[in-house]
Amino acid sequence: MHPNTPGKLIIFSAPSGAGKTSIVHRLMHEMPNLAFSVSACTREQRPGEVHGKDYYFMTIEEFKQKAANNEFVEWEEVYTNGFYGTLRSEIENIRNSGRHVLFDVDVEGGLSLKSIYGDDALAIFVMPPSVEVLETRLRGRGTENEESLQKRLKKAIKELDYYSKFDVVVLNDVLADAVVEAREKINEFIRTP
């Protein structure tokens, strides 16, 4: 890539529990030309998560102020007072460094980014093998109570219908296979002028 050519955008989206974050983490280790776009959110920080690495954790007030200042490329209220967004400065810094931007965002956020960046973006939908597997994965996290788990599951099932709006669909049945397929699609996209 020419040093003055801005990097491309690689967007991973999926229903919660489909395994997109696992794929993104593997790709980050294998592809040094990718840089992770850290999203902002208002949800509670989970054990092991690092501010500025996993998310920029913000209060609702901070988030709303940045939204009012047009500091987000896209943002949404995923759950009541559960805001998620992509900071404009984060994308610009990565693209101008000569690397490609890697996103791990929900389905609506992914479609929003694709509509903004068009041909500069590759939108990848991670498909779970089944709704049953999705539920098992969500339960296995142990981060939700039953009510919040049912909300996530209901939203995830609805989001499965969005797969056809993405450029590529990667089935995540066996993680290693999904990573290989995703890497091939990304390399093909990056090589395309």
Say if residue 80's pLDDT is above 70.
Answer: yes
| Whole-number Å distance between alpha carbons of 100 and 72 | 19
Q: Is 185 a domain residue? A: yes
Residue by residue, DSSP assigns 58-109 as --HHHHHHHHHTT-EEEEEEEETTEEEEEEHHHHHHHHHTT-EEEEEE-HHH
Say if residue 181's pLDDT is above 90.
Answer: yes
CA angle 154, 129, 134 (to 5 degrees): 35
Residue range 3-50, pLDDT digits in tens: 567 899 999 999 888 889 999 999 999 999 999 999 999 999 989 999
DSSP symbol at 165: G
Q: Is 3 a domain residue? A: no
Average pLDDT over residues 152-175: 93
| Whole-number Å distance between alpha carbons of 45 and 160 | 26
Residue range 126-154, pLDDT digits in tens: 999 888 888 887 887 777 788 888 888 88
Question: 59 exposed, middle or buried (CB, 10 Å; 0-12, 13-18, 19+)?
Answer: exposed
Say if residue 1's pLDDT is above 50.
Answer: no
Report residue 120: phi and psi, to 5°.
-80, -5
Q: Is 111 a domain residue? A: yes
* The dihedral sign for the CA sequence 119, 73, 76, 190: positive
Say if residue 2's pLDDT is above 70.
Answer: no
How much of the chain exceeds pLDDT 90, in percent? 69
Q: What is the pLDDT of residue 79?
A: 80
Q: Is 101 a domain residue? A: yes
Average pLDDT over residues 73-83: 89
Q: What is the pLDDT of residue 146?
A: 85
Q: Is 1 a domain residue? A: no
Q: Is 2 a domain residue? A: no
Q: Is 100 a domain residue? A: yes
Mean residue pLDDT across the chain: 91
3-state class (DSSP) for residue 26: helix
- State the residue range of the domain holding 187: 9-191
CATH (domain of 154) = 3.40.50.300
Average pLDDT over residues 50-74: 96
Q: What is the pLDDT of residue 103?
A: 94
How many distinct structural domains can be found in the chain?
A: 1
